[in-house]
């Protein structure tokens, strides 16, 4: 089970939540902001009472979303660093490098369209770059949670996807009343 699955299992959010519906560049620019806001309002205007998109690339667009909508809730799931780095490196394969601006011109690395959705560090060691991304991502996420503490929460992934009490709190936070919650006990990724 994933956050996407858990949210879409709920009656009032059924099929209202997408997964990576709006792939956005890491650094917002004029075009990506227009696209992000079009997608944001497309998601917000769905017929379900609770709607959203699950995707890590929204982090640098949160200020814009908050400014544009007065009824928003943001969830950040925090995974274990070691497990996350291992998972990401497996996902991108032995020649993938999301955090180096190589644009496929370095024969050691394969270019992917997903490269644009990650920050660039100039660190050639993939594992070190990935660890830096993890640290930077959660540093920024925590700052945003502090800034928007009334509408944004961070949860440990293993807790919110495996612990029924944590699930109930998270679902209540996003606007799903306790009496309407469908809690799920299992999750394959426990990091």
CA 35 → CA 22, 41, 63, 149, distances in Å? Answer: 8, 10, 15, 26
Sequence-separated (6 or more) residues with CB below 8 Å from residue 124: 97, 100
- So what's the pLDDT on residue 50? 83
Residues 65, 67, 68, 69: what is their CA dihedral angle, to the nearest 10 degrees?
80
- So what's the pLDDT on residue 124? 93
Q: Would you write out the chain's pLDDT as a tens digit for each of its 191 residues?
A: 789 888 888 888 777 888 887 789 999 999 989 988 898 888 888 777 888 888 898 999 999 999 998 889 999 999 999 999 999 999 999 999 999 999 889 999 999 888 989 999 999 999 999 999 999 999 999 999 999 999 999 999 999 988 999 999 999 999 999 999 999 876 555 55
CA 93 → CA 11, 40, 63, 106, 130, distances in Å? Answer: 37, 31, 33, 15, 13
- So what's the pLDDT on residue 1? 78
CA 11 → CA 6, 75, 88, 114, 191, distances in Å? Answer: 11, 19, 32, 32, 27
- So what's the pLDDT on residue 179? 94
- So what's the pLDDT on residue 190? 53
- So what's the pLDDT on residue 148? 97
Q: Taking the model in full, what pTM does it have?
A: 0.88
- So what's the pLDDT on residue 103? 86
Rounded to a whole number, what is the distance in angstroms from the first to the last CA of the chain? 13
Task: Round to whole Å and give the CA distance between 53 and 169.
Answer: 19
- So what's the pLDDT on residue 44? 80
């Amino acid at each position: 089970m994933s956050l996407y699955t858990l949210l879409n299992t709920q009656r009032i959010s059924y099929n209202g939540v997408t997964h990576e519906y709006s792939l956005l560049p890491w650094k917002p620019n004029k075009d990506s902001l227009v696209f992000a806001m079009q997608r944001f309002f497309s998601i917000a205007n769905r017929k379900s009472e609770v709607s959203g998109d699950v995707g890590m690339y929204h982090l640098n667009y949160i200020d814009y979303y908050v400014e544009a909508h007065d009824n928003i809730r943001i969830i950040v799931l925090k995974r274990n660093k070691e497990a996350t780095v291992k998972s990401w490196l497996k996902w991108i394969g032995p020649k993938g490098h999301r955090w180096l601006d190589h644009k496929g011109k370095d024969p050691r690395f394969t270019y992917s369209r997903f490269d644009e959705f990650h920050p660039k560090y100039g660190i050639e060691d993939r594992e070190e770059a990935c660890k830096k991304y993890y640290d930077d991502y959660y540093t920024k996420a925590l700052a945003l949670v502090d800034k928007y503490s009334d509408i944004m929460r961070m949860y440990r992934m293993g807790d919110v996807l495996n612990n029924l009490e944590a699930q109930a709190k998270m679902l209540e936070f996003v606007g799903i009343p306790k009496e309407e919650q469908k809690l799920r006990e299992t999750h394959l990724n426990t990091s």
